[in-house]
Amino acid sequence: MNSLNKRLEIVDISSLNSISNQNYDDAAGKLYSALSGIGFAVIINHGVDEKIISDMRQAVANVFETPREILMQDMVIKGNYRGFVPLGYFTPNSGKGKADQYEAWKLHHETDPHDPICQASALYGPNKWPRIAIDIKTPVMRYWQALTDVSERLIIALCSQLQVDSNIILASMTKPLTNMTLLNYPPMPPQSDTWGIHPHKDFNFLTLLAHDPIGGLEVRNRADEWISAECPDNGLVLNVGDMLELWSGGRLISTPHRVFNKSGKPRQSFPFFSKPRFDVVVEPLLDPIDGFDRPPLHVGTSAADIWYSNWPDTVSTDPAQVLGEYSSS
């Protein structure tokens, strides 16, 4: 892919269902090309049932139709980072800049509170769910499982291009720190320079985002231009996180992106952030490319550092934590 393109490349991943498919290598190569060029792609024929996505979209709408005094009963806390985030509550991880203009409900890998892993890391545990009569959990968990399946296929395909053993990464995804954010962006005036989410890079492994009918997601290409992340109705936007960039030795690129909502309508989305288990140490699985020099990263330590630094009174202190940050010009 030409990394200076004005549009994200669309990749048909239907042949990634089986490594024996005669078109497998071609599809995996196109995926690798996009993610090594700009770090983003649109994937189609991904196998996620349309009803699973539409039910998920309705679940998000139901959450944000709820009176805020009900949602506020389950505010997000630093301990395990689950629950409601009020509008303008979080700031950029650097501690600088204006508060982001979104509200959210944070969800993580659903874990039984008696599981020993909860004692090993405070980032695990059961989710908080909105205190409403409508069932939110069922559509969320169906969507979660569907995207977990897609993520596994993507991992295997990318590892085939990198020529590394996919089992190394797949093994790290047991009891993962995968999480999802249900997001609601109020409309901003057309002339406003206030973003919904500040320019940043994702610090996880892979991010998947269902088609957004409102728009507003922008990606910075290699020419330092902000381009619209346009996606067809049946597509998922895929992007590389900092952990995959590190694992690939800099070959797959974690790219800055941001959200502006100047549509005049509320924008709702539900990004899925694939992330390894808390005790995994991420480091290059093959020799890094020239100029790529990042220290190994402990997933649990870095996750806590990034999540906690969303609070305006907390700034990242991890010396290895160039991840998840982006300084806009």
Q: What is the pLDDT of residues 202-239, one digit of tens each?
A: 999 999 999 988 989 999 998 899 999 999 999 999 99
Specify the pLDDT at position 241.
97
Q: Which residue bears the tokens 């220290």?
A: 295
pLDDT reported for residue 181: 97
Q: Is residue 235 part of a domain?
A: yes
| Residue partners of 26: CB distance under 8 A and separation at least 6 | 15
Chain segment 166-204, per-residue pLDDT in tens: 999 999 999 999 999 999 999 887 767 778 898 999 999
Distance between CA atoms of residues 32 and 235, nearest Å: 17
Give percent of the chain above pLDDT 70.
Answer: 90
Q: In the prediction, which pLDDT does 320 show?
A: 47
Mean pLDDT of the 251-275 span: 94
* Integer angstrom CA distances of residue 303 from 9, 169, 250: 30, 17, 20
Instruction: From 326, 259, 227, select the one nearest 8 (Cα to Cα).
Output: 227
CA distance 148 to 173: 10
pLDDT at 318: 57
- Collect all residues with Cβ–Cβ distance below 8 Å to 182 and sequence separation of at least 6: 59, 60, 63, 64, 104, 105, 107, 268, 270
Give the pLDDT band of residue 323 (cuts 50, 70, 90).
very low
Q: Per residue in 67-85, pLDDT tens?
A: 999 999 999 988 778 999 9
Query: Does 167 reside within a domain?
Result: yes
pLDDT over 70 at 126, yes or no: yes
pLDDT of residue 92: 61
pTM of the complete model: 0.93
The arithmetic mean of pLDDT across residues 51-62, rounded, is 97
Cβ distance 303 to 243 under 8 Å?
no
Kindly state whether residue 315 falls inside one of the protein's structural domains.
no
Q: Reduced to 3 states, what is the DSSP secondary structure of residue 65?
A: coil
| pLDDT for residue 321 | 47
Residue type, 314: T
In a 3-state reduction of DSSP, which class is residue 305?
Answer: helix
Give first-to-last CA distance, the chain, whole Å. 25
Tell me how many domains the chain contains.
1
Give the structural domain span for 173: 10-308
Q: Looking at the chain, how many residues does it have?
A: 329
CATH at 17: 2.60.120.330
> What token pair was written down for 239?
């992007």
Nearest residue to 91 via CA among 81, 83, 102? 102
**Within-domain flag for 326:** no
**What is the C-alpha to C-alpha distance for residues 166 and 190, in angstroms, rounded to an integer?**
45
Evaluate whether residue 175 is within a structural domain: yes
Please give the pLDDT value at position 317: 61
| pLDDT bucket at 295, cuts 50 / 70 / 90 | very high
Mapping DSSP to helix (H, G, I), strand (E, B) and coil, where does residue 154 land? Answer: helix
In 31-158 the beta strands, taken as DSSP E runs, fall at 40-44, 83-85, 103-108
Q: How far is CA 259 from each of CA 156, 238, 244, 262, 296, rounded to the nearest angstrom?
A: 30, 15, 22, 10, 30
Q: Is there a domain that residue 202 lies in?
A: yes
Whether residue 319 lies inside any domain: the answer is no
Identify the pLDDT of residue 316: 62
Residue-level pLDDT at 191: 64
pLDDT one-digit tens code per residue, 85-124 = 999 887 665 545 578 899 999 999 999 999 999 999 999 9
What's residue 313's pLDDT? 66
Confidence band for 1, pLDDT divided at 50, 70 and 90: very low
* 314 in a structural domain: no
Q: Name the DSSP class of 110.
A: -
d(CA 287, CA 285): 7
Residue among 24, 51, 271 nearest 147 (CA)? 271
Three-class DSSP category at 59: helix
**How sure is the predictor about 307, in pLDDT bands with cuts at 50, 70 and 90?**
confident
Cα–Cα distance, 169 to 156 (Å, whole number): 9
* Averaged pLDDT for residues 31-52: 97
Interatomic CA distance for residues 25 and 29, integer angstroms: 6
